[in-house]
Chain A
Amino acid sequence: MHASIKLMLSGILAFAAVQTRAQDIKIGVAGPITGPLAFLGQHIKWGGELAADEINQKGGVLGRKLVFLMQDSACRPADGVASAEKLLSQDRVDVMLGDVCSGSTIAIMPVMEKAQKPFIVTISTHPDITSKSGAGGNKWVFRTVAHDGMIAEVVAERMKGFKSIAIVGEDTDYGRGAARLMKERLPASVKIVSEDYLKQTETDFLPVLTRIRASKPDALATYVLDQQASNLMKQYQQFGLTIPLVGRPPLGSGVVSEQVASGKFDGSWTVYPYFDKFAEPKNQAFTRAYVQRYKQPPHYAGWGVYEGVQTYADAVRRAGTTDPEKVRDALARSDFDAILGPMRFDANQQARTRMMFIVVDKGAATVKELVAVK
């Protein structure tokens, strides 16, 4: 009872202020405003508002203003569904963007199908979202980021050099799912010494690290999000471990930048859909605007939502209307220059986007390679 009342009240506090008019185009998102991932919710809001404001300054879409509305999901499926239903029925949003956590995004998908409104997934990476979309059944769902299956291909291939690895992940659809996909593709020569999945709110990694210190694997495959990674890396240093973190540690996140800068994680690497230090003009223009406004570089979540809003605005422009059916058809035919390259969707309405192979060297994370989808 305690947590849910807090959730409710903080939701009211945070969003009572947004004013909308009937002719505005409303973009809804369910994301974590409370809970350990609240700072990702902050980036969602920032990314979405930046995109909407940039578009509005140029006269909006079809002469109408974009409005960005957010509800708290705390990254939990049940709260995600409740938020989506509220946004659809009370705020009457024209489109929804996906949550951070795949579990919540997957739970919202049938709600969108029933409401017959487009749903653009911009952060969640669970492969089921793709396999259930477009040709897979739910024609309303589009995804602009690479999914875990695509990323696992790249990760598993780069694991070849290791004899043994340990896995640590969050106990969610993302952590367990992404680790399983990597394991399925892992060369037979790599032995898995241990697997641990911790609840998303866990901060103490002592037992896991104690075991890893004794079992001495060649690498630690890491499937946790930013805040847990920060706690993990802090305690990792206390243990004096030098085993590289590989797989999907969020090495590009601002939350772990101090740990990365310590030089103790040199040799660690990750494959991520996005990293703000990616040096191409379109991305640099985006990060500059973001930093100027919010005083910190965009997180992957902020970039994702920014691209999502742009993708929707592009489709509405081409459709010449916000009629959901027509916008959906326009989305399916998307082909514009997004930050990571051309935005085009396949039969499952999955963007064939690029991924970033990020390596830590001399205390700095850099994009070593842009990996194209096979």
Chain B
Amino acid sequence: MATDPVFLAQLAANGFSVGLGYALAAVGLALIFGILGQVNFAHGELYMLGAFLLFWAMKQLGLPYGIAAVLMAALMAGFGALLAHVVIVPNLDRGFESVVLGTLAVGIILQNAVRLGFGATPLDVASPLESQAFEIGGVLLFGQRMLVCATFLAAFSGLYAFLRYSEIGRAMRAMAQNREACVMVGIDVRRVTRWTGALAAALTGLAGVVISPLFDLYPNMGTEVVIKSFAVVIIGGMGNIWGAAIAGVALGLAESYAGGLGNAAIRDGIAFIVMIAMLLARPQGLFGRTVRV
């Protein structure tokens, strides 16, 4: 079985789709670090919030999946801008730990607010693609996971175009290079911070929207995602969004082969082994910290 080409191809397909999901979930974290130099400890809760808002829009407002997803991304962008305005902007000139503590607090509040509002019983959002699967040469491709891949491609090309061509995108890249210089040439760093927060939250929420129908929803669901996101960001280079994409896919593939050929326990260790090895051998990550396009 271990040498069966169909089996190996299935593992590759699994790893690829899971890995692009990791990259999509991690890019918001990389963006905030790359541009603002801050670590967002509420990252997992943004993902969780995206999933729960989707559930709310579909169950309470009765919206179909596609429309609920768009509404949710807009809500998340607004929330991200608010988060940046309330937590990151006042702390831009303070030490690194102010934002860590501030976002940690937001994470705790969000988790408990969701627990109060929705309860602890796992919930389920239904996506039209969820039960779809098609077979190519014996290899199964799953509808919802294909949607994750497509969303990744759309989100990353959108992000590329935004950073490359828009005025605010150029300001973001400038801020990633040198914040003091930005202030001197008249770039409003607070505005850029809010935009970065909005963009990061929208992308993270979007990840929650496309990935969560695969699993159950519960208030702690962000914890797992945040561990994988940190692994991806550390392996790819803190703040490097293309590094996050490549590291995500590499991690997804490594886990898939470890889980398929070895066993589940080996697979769980992969992210940490690679992360520790990377910190020892190349602490700046595979590609270093840059926001270039």
Contact = CB atoms under 8 A, between A and B. Distances in A.
What 10 A-B pairs come out closest when comparing CB atoms? A207-B259, A38-B120, A203-B215, A196-B264, A39-B121, A39-B120, A198-B264, A207-B260, A206-B14, A42-B120
B196 interface: no
A195 B263 contact: yes
Contact of B4 (A208, A214, A234): A214
B19 to A, nearest CB: 11
A239 B140 contact: yes
Interface in A228-279: 230-231, 234-235, 237-240, 254-255, 258
A20 interface: no
Contact of A211 (B107, B108, B255, B260): B260
B7 interface: yes
Interface string B50-62: 0000000000000
Contacts of B267: 207
Contacts of A208: 259, 264
Contact of A202 (B119, B220, B268): B268
Contacts of B259: 206-208
A38 B256 CA distance: 29
Interface stretch (A4-12, A283-291, A324-332): A4-12
Interface string B1-23: 10010110011001000100000
How many interface residues does chain B have, given as a range?
35 or more
Contact of B220 (A38, A214, A254, A255): A38
Given A207-B256, A214-B10, 7 more contacts: A13-B112, A198-B264, A207-B259, A215-B1, A240-B140, A255-B216, A296-B121
B7 A171 contact: no
B184 to A, nearest CB: 37
Contacts of B10: 210, 213-214
Interface string A162-174: 0000000001000
Contacts of B226: 2
Q: Most chain-A CB neighbours within 10 Å: which of B14, B122, B133?
A: B122
9 contacts: A5-B108, A10-B111, A39-B218, A42-B119, A194-B263, A198-B265, A207-B258, A214-B10, A227-B122
A34 B220 contact: yes
A42 B120 CA distance: 7
Interface string B249-280: 00000011011100111011000000000000
B217 to A, nearest CB: 10
Interface string A4-48: 011001100100000000000000000001111011011000000
Interface string A290-307: 000000100000000000
Contacts, number: 125
How many interface residues does chain A have, given as a range?
35 or more
A269 to B, nearest CB: 23
B131 A5 contact: no
A189 interface: no
Interface string B116-142: 000111101000001101000000101
B18 A204 contact: yes
Interface of B: 1, 4, 6-7, 10-11, 14, 18, 41, 104, 107-108, 111-112, 115, 119-122, 124, 130-131, 133, 140, 142, 214-216, 218-221, 223-224, 226, 255-256, 258-260, 263-265, 267-268
A239 B133 contact: yes
Interface string A34-67: 1110110110000000000000000000000000
Interface of A: 2-3, 5-6, 9-10, 13, 33-36, 38-39, 41-42, 171, 194-199, 201-204, 206-208, 210-211, 213-215, 226-227, 230-231, 234-235, 237-240, 254-255, 258, 296
